[in-house]
Amino acid sequence: MATPLDPHAAIVTEAAGIDDGPLRTVDGQPLEKALARSSRAARRRAFMLVLPLLAFIVITFIMPIGQMLYRSVHNDGFAANMPQISAWFAETKPGTEPDEAAYAALAADLLASAEARSIGVVGTRINYEKSGTRSLFTSTGRQVRRGIEPPYREALLEIDDEWGDPELWGAMRNVSSAYTDSFYLASIDRTRNAQGEIERVEEHRRIYITLFMRTLALSALITALTFILGFPVAHLLATLPIRKSNMLMILVLLPFWTSLLVRTTSWMVLLQQQGVINDTLVWLGIIDQQGRLQMIYNQIGTIVAMTHILLPFMILPLYSVMRTINPGYVRAARSLGATSWTAFRRIYFPLTLPGLGAGALLVFILAIGYYITPALVGGSSGQLISNMIAEHMTGTLNWSMAAALAAILLGGVLILYWIYDRLVGIDNLKLG
Amino acid sequence: MALPKYASPLERIWHWSYLALCSAIFVFLIAPILVIIPLSFNADRFFTFTQEMLSFDPDGYSLQWYDELLTFGMSAPDAPRNGSWFADMWANSKWVNAAKNSVIVGIFSTLVATVLGTLAALGLARPEMPFRRLIMATLISPMIVPLIITATGLFFFYSSACVPEGSWLHMLLGPFLSNRGCLANTYTGVILAHATLGIPFVIITVTATLIGFDQSLNRAAASLGANPRTTFFQITMPLILPGIISGALFAFVTSFDEVVVVLFIAGPEQQTIPRQMWTGIREQISPAILAIATLLVVFSIALLTTVEILRRRSEKIRGITPS
């Protein structure tokens, strides 16, 4: 007999043919519906546990990054303060000769902007497109406030010849819309000319592509170095008896747990011209006092310090995969006549690939975003793209440019992250 | 790794050179960290070993850089060391203030990260969790996104998302915000940012602990009449506690070591140890940096030991024998 306390009994009795309809629970609901309801409730309960954190991450992390991406395409420093000339640009085609109406609009905007003390913002915005124009705007603003008579074209040209420069008008057109791709174009060393066509910037200003390429090349090199150094160590740790390997593991985990700044400081101490390594080399007679090596404040500094810092991120995934490889496979290969090199190349190495993939992706992802270490030991030739983002944030204060560079870097990292999740699975990430 | 008796001479050479290579890599890993410890006791302003140090002459060693940590930034560093000296040091010394800030920010951000992270990990471990992979990827992303990007985003957000004065939200949150009603240059801002950065570590360690967790224990507790809260506190939590604690330690270390975000969003009030180090390295490089670095190495050795003990304990509780 079915009781409310025993729903299974109800299913059994009713399925036994007492009721010919669909299977029902004790309170008369179709079984399928009841099951769907209870699994919905279980899903909701699981989701409610995750919800607070998800909301937290969205507010403190996803939204700020979204806002940053918005800033990379939106900058109304010019458009908001110079509405009339912006409207004229919106109505005419790129390359149109500015007429008297355009100059009148420009003069009116300059006057209004100078009165509202926003001319500096306008000048700064246009300065990003065409350097040296900020002072043109501020000084013209001052003169316009003293009074200006039509015809405005002649009046403005009298203040400064540059107001007739088609390049300046092209630059103003580029910034006249609040939404712009100019920061992304600048990130790949491109700009729009007076006709609105995309062209490369002058040779001496092409810095960003070089910097992106250097970041990729140095990250790849550091990944390769961590692999070369990490593979033998991981293999040794994985094949030693557990007691010994646990002892040696401390040598890998201690750097992993030590502060990044401490490790960077150590390398500064070691690599200095008057530092420990140079002193040792002089003492050994390998180099003389004059021949002290310059190993810091250049790319060597960045490469050595970052390889050291990222090495544990290669060793740990490799180790955890190598631990699971059955040594019998290699022994079987040997017994079938393979040399130890063949056995390694055809049997052992392919089995380590998942760990290698995980480690290499992790190291590469971390390396392309590094900031602190290159900033301290990299000099000028060891700087990465992150350092340029920081420079725009705190030095030149061109925040939209920083946001555009950060967006490109973020895009690259997210693609790698997606590959990592596909290949390794983010839940397989292990820490020590 | 033992070499078999029948190994050929070539194999023997290869074996020993392999071990030598591994030893060299271990030296590369550990030497840079250990080398700064003796150098921090240098009696001179050098970053290298002096003749006196190499000949173990006691005159070559001194504690002056540790002393400088206590007195740097004090209003009267040379004052006689009585009660007022201590008060001065506690209130004014830059390194002491930085240490206080690091601990405050570390503790609060760890609390936020651990509570929210553990709850989420419990949800993510349930088999019926919807969109598991996507949500997991989102929650781990603060660890993957380069710090400079996080810092840039937070800089814009903290300086623009301000609560207008006089609104009800300002009445509620006012004490946690700057006088302009923003999160920039506040302890709250730094704590929230560090909690975000620490969350992935909590998620990863607690989820890893829950993988070995026997769900039938929960069902057994429920069948014996325990409600979900009792089940969690009496059954689940004691079993996953080692995972929670090591996740919390990871979160604390992340906060304790973080400098990029602090550089961007914190004001002079929120000077932390890494930020003070950064300033020290960039401006006036003094061996006092080596003294603080040595203290941090000792600190990381202590943390490493704790995590290792917790890991063994966790495996023991869950009945996993070390493989």
Interface confidence (ipTM) of the complex? 0.88
Round to whole Å and give the CA distance between B102 and B84: 24
What values do phi and psi take at A416, rounded to 5? -65, -40
Instruction: Tell me what the pLDDT averaged over chain B comes to.
Output: 86
Q: How far is B173 from chain A (nearest CA, A)?
A: 16
Range A280-307 average pLDDT: 89
Q: Do A45 and B137 touch (CB under 8 A)?
A: no
Q: What are the tens digits of pLDDT across the range A187-230? A: 988 888 777 788 888 888 888 999 999 999 999 999 999 999 99
- Decide which of A8 and B139 is more confident: B139
Query: Which of the four pLDDT bands, split at 50, 70 and 90, describes residue B252?
Result: very high
Residues of A within 8 A of B162 (CB-CB) are none
Facing A240 at nearest CB: one of B1, B39, B153: B1
Mean pLDDT of B115-126: 92
Q: Decide if pLDDT at B203 tops 90.
A: yes
How far does CA A3 lie from the centroid of its chain? 61
The predicted structure's pLDDT at residue A23: 76
How far apart CA B277 and CA B292 sit, in angstroms, is 8
Q: Is the pLDDT of residue A14 over 70?
A: no
Residues in chain B closer than 8 A to A388 (CB atoms): none
Torsion of CA B224, B229, B232, B238, to 10 degrees: -100
pLDDT of residue B128: 82
User: Is residue A53 a contact partner of residue B119, using CB atoms and an 8 Å limit?
Assistant: yes
The position carrying tokens 């109406």 is A101
Query: Per residue in B124-138, is it b (16+ CB within 10 Å) or e — as a string?
Result: bbbebbeebeebbbb
Residue B198 has pLDDT above 90, yes or no: yes
Residue type, A119: I
The predicted-structure confidence for B295-316, as pLDDT tens digits, reads as follows 999 999 998 888 888 878 877 7
Tokens of A5: 């306390």
Residue B32: how many CA atoms within 13 Å on its side-chain side?
28
Q: Could you report the per-residue pLDDT of A354-408, keeping only the tens digit for each? A: 899 999 999 999 999 999 999 999 888 889 999 999 999 988 889 999 999 999 9
- Sequence-distant (6+) residues with CB within 8 A of B148 are A369, A371, A386, A389, A390, A406, A409, B260
Residues 6+ apart with CB under 8 A from A37: none
Predicted confidence (pLDDT) per residue in A46-61, tens digit: 899 999 999 999 999 9
Chain A interface mutation, best of B23, B29, B141, highest count of A Cβ atoms under 10 Å: B29
pLDDT tens digit string along A127-169?
Answer: 888 888 888 888 888 888 887 777 888 888 888 888 888 888 8
Whether B117 has a pLDDT exceeding 80, the answer reads yes
The pLDDT of residue A20? 59
pLDDT average, residue stretch B52-68? 83
Q: Is residue B247 scored above 70 in pLDDT?
A: yes
- Residue B68: band (very low, low, confident or very high) from pLDDT cuts 50, 70, 90: confident
List the structure tokens of B256. 């304790």
3-state secondary structure chain B: CCCCCCCCHHHHHHHHHHHHHHHHHHHHHHHHHHHHHHHCCECCCCCCCCHHHHCCCHHHECCHHHHHHHHCCCCCCCCCCCHHHHHHHHHHCHHHHHHHHHHHHHHHHHHHHHHHHHHHHHHHHCCCCCCHHHHHHHHHHHHHCCHHHHHHHHHHHHHHCCCCCCCHHHHHHHHHCCCCCCCCCCHHHHHHHHHHHHHHHHHHHHHHHHHCCCHHHHHHHHHCCCCHHHHHHHHHHHHHHHHHHHHHHHHHHHHHHCCHHHHHHCCHHHCCHHHHHHHHHHCCCCCHHHHHHHHHHHHHHHHHHHHHHHHHHHHHHCCCCCC
Where does the pLDDT of residue A1 fall: very low under 50, low under 70, confident under 90, or very high at 90 and above?
very low
Q: What is the pLDDT of residue A126?
A: 86
pLDDT over threshold 70, residue A178? yes
- Average pLDDT of chain A? 87
Please report the DSSP string for A249-310 in residue order.
HHHHHHHHHS-HHHHHHHHHHHHSTTSHHHHHHHHHTSS-GGG----SSSHHHHHHHHHHHH
pTM value is 0.87
Cα separation, A410 vs A416, in Å, equals: 10
Q: How far is CA A213 from CA A72, A188, A217, A222, A385, in A?
A: 21, 11, 6, 14, 9
Per CB-CB distance under 8 Å, the chain A contacts of B301 are 254, 257
The band of A310, judged by pLDDT with boundaries at 50, 70 and 90, is: very high
| Contact yes or no for B116 and A56 at CB 8 A | yes
- Written as one letter, the residue type at B53 is M
